[in-house]
């Protein structure tokens, strides 16, 4: 019986190895969103140009949608942009944009150059809406359900794989939920 005690360090080691091994699979720099399953905070942002309308949180009620935070100053956003264009062309889900801390005119010039995947774009020049949304960097994308609640947040670039493996299935699930 007392010999079994000798195995205690080994057992402890095994438990810690499994625990820390699981920890290694997580990204510690990713801060969990406080908004999951909660309604979007209220915002009412002006348009970035005459061509596209501005954005308020009530625009996102009524259908499942993507809310993408971007900036013309943000290199990963340029990487992500073709994917957003592809999603917009597919017509699976409408995309709304928040132009985060861009100087006047920069966001609209950027969309003119690269194409506009957004239904509406709000101009968050002061960055306050981004803080209300708990944004830590651009790009970030929220999936909003038909009741205007945040159901998912993706930090970083939406790649083809992220879209097909994670976002699209969830969007379709929420659309089915909304249709019920």
Partner 1 sequence: MKAFLSALLALFTLTSLALASPGPDERLDDPALEARALTLYAQLRCVVCQSQSIRDSNAPLAEDMRAVVRERLLAGESDAEVLDYLQARYGDYVLMMPPLQANTLGLWLVPALVFLGGAAGLVIFVLSQHGRGGEDEDDGLDSERARALDEEEGLS
Q: Which residues pair with 98 in a beta bridge?
A: 69, 122
Looking at the Cβ atoms of 125 and 144, the one nearer to partner 1 is 125
Angstrom distance (rounded) from CA 48 to CA 4 = 70
Q: Residue 50 is encoded by which pair of tokens?
A: 């005459």
Burial environment of residue 120 by CB neighbours within 10 A (0 to 12, 13 to 18, 19 or more) = buried
If binding is defined by CB under 8 A, does position 134 make contact with partner 1? yes
Looking at the Cβ atoms of 27 and 180, the one nearer to partner 1 is 27
If binding is defined by CB under 8 A, does position 12 make contact with partner 1? no
3-state secondary structure string across 69-138: EECCCCHHHHHHHHHHHHHHHHCCCCEEEEEECCCCCHHHHHHHHHCCCCCCEEEECCCHHHHHCCCCCC
If binding is defined by CB under 8 A, does position 76 make contact with partner 1? no
Smallest separation, CB 82 to partner 1 (Å):
25
Of the residues 90, 126, 159, 164, which one makes contact with partner 1 according to CB under 8 A:
126
Smallest separation, CB 85 to partner 1 (Å):
27
Q: What residues from 85 to 114 belong to the interface with partner 1 (CB under 8 A)?
A: 101
If binding is defined by CB under 8 A, does position 136 make contact with partner 1? yes
- Kindly list the residues in this chain that would bind partner 1 in the complex (CB under 8 A): 29, 31-34, 101, 126-128, 130-137
């Amino acid at each position: 019986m007392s010999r079994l005690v000798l195995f205690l360090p080994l057992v402890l080691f095994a438990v810690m190895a499994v625990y820390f091994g699981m920890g290694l699979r997580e990204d510690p720099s990713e801060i969990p969103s406080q908004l999951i399953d909660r309604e979007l905070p209220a915002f009412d942002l002006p348009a970035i140009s005459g061509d596209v309308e501005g954005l308020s949180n009530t625009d996102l009620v009524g259908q499942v949608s993507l809310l993408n935070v971007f900036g013309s100053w943000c290199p990963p956003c340029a990487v992500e942009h073709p994917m957003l264009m592809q999603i917009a062309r597919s017509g699976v889900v409408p995309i709304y944009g928040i132009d985060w801390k861009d100087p006047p005119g920069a966001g609209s010039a950027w969309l003119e150059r690269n194409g506009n995947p957004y239904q509406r774009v709000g101009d968050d020049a002061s960055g306050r809406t981004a803080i209300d949304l708990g944004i830590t960097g651009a790009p970030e994308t929220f999936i909003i359900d038909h009741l205007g609640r945040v159901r998912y947040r993706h930090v970083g670039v939406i790649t083809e794989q992220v879209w097909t493996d994670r976002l699209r299935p969830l969007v379709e699930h929420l659309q089915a939920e909304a249709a019920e």
